[in-house]
Amino acid sequence: MRLLIIPTIFVVTLTQANADHGLMLKKAGYKLPQTKEIVLNQEKSKMTFKNTQKFSKRDYARLTNKFKYVQSWENDFKLPAPNNNDSSQTEKEISELIGLKKQRTNSIINDIQNERNIYGFRFGAIYGNDIFFNYEKDPVRDFLLEYIPDLVTLTFKFKNKFNRVRPSFLSNQIKPIIPIPEHPAYPSAHSSKANFIAIVLSNFSPCLSEVFKTDGKRIAKNREIAGVHYSSDSKAGAVLARQYYDYIMRSEKTRKELMIAKSFWKENYHECP
């Protein structure tokens, strides 16, 4: 069986291909972040999220939401601490982010804007919009909506623990092209969500596993190109996604729900030959 749906594609019309990407985004109606050169009187080595930004109300709610499935996040999940601001590794990451500005093409900028929420995530020919809105009853959507909230809260627990400053505060050359998120950088929530979805979809269509996993990494990478994440944020998000998937799969209830979703996927989205 082949794909039975035509994906709804989000389009941001950006003209003047040779124009500055910042001007292009302004013309498209987006407000660009006002990144200060550096928070004055603040040494780079001492910069954290909490002394450069504040949690938005929405993001603080994500941090303080109660878990439904996770029992003891500090004992059951492990991530290494990010590198110090003044380390050679962080300097290398900053240099990489400055270099990634060259990849801010019209197409990539469109993807970055679409991917600011989960409905614009694309895996192969399928968009999040297709999964979340195409069917009145969809076990695939229900599975993702049931388990992603705990993953988000888990990601935010680690964000709060590590308190990592956003990269644009360490270098004014990065110049993010989207508003700087109002929560710590490490690990990347976009990466944890995108990689988790990729793992789930790979279970449904093993023949497309590489496609889905590549798109999960691409979504995370686009946040680096946008200038709001270090590469180590993306890697940590991917690690957390795998840990979380393995954790919830210990439950017989979860495994049964996954099988129901898999059957629906084969009938309505895609079935491997």
Domains in the chain: boundaries: 21-268
pLDDT value for 134: 84
At residue 124 the predicted structure's pLDDT band, cuts being 50, 70 and 90, is very high
Chosen CATH of 21-268 out of 1.10.8.60, 1.20.144.10, 1.10.150.120, 1.10.10.10: 1.20.144.10
Closest CA to 226 of 141, 147, 186, 168: 168
Length of the chain (residues): 273
What pLDDT shows up at residue 43?
87
- Say if residue 2's pLDDT is above 50: no
Burial class (CB in 10 A: 0-12, 13-18, 19+), 246: exposed
**pLDDT for 84 beyond 60:** yes
Tokens representing 230 are: 């270090």
Q: Name the average pLDDT for the chain.
A: 88
pLDDT at 42: 66
Give the SS3 label for residue 9: coil
3-class DSSP assignment, residue 127: strand
Greater confidence (9 vs 223) lies with 223
pLDDT of residue 4: 39
196 pLDDT tier (thresholds 50, 70, 90): very high
Using pLDDT thresholds of 50, 70 and 90, give the confidence band for residue 40.
very low
Q: pLDDT per residue over 132-144, tens digit each?
A: 888 889 999 999 9
Taking the C-alpha atoms of residue 181 and residue 160, their distance in angstroms, rounded to an integer, is 13
In the predicted model, is pLDDT for residue 14 greater than 60?
no
Q: Whole-prediction pTM value?
A: 0.86
Contacts for 85 with CB less than 8 Å, ≥ 6 apart:
44, 45, 46, 47, 165, 170
DSSP 29: T
223-232 mean pLDDT: 98
**CA distances for 244 relative to 149, 216, 229, angstroms:** 12, 15, 21
Structure tokens at 134: 């195409």
Q: Is the pLDDT of residue 36 over 80?
A: no
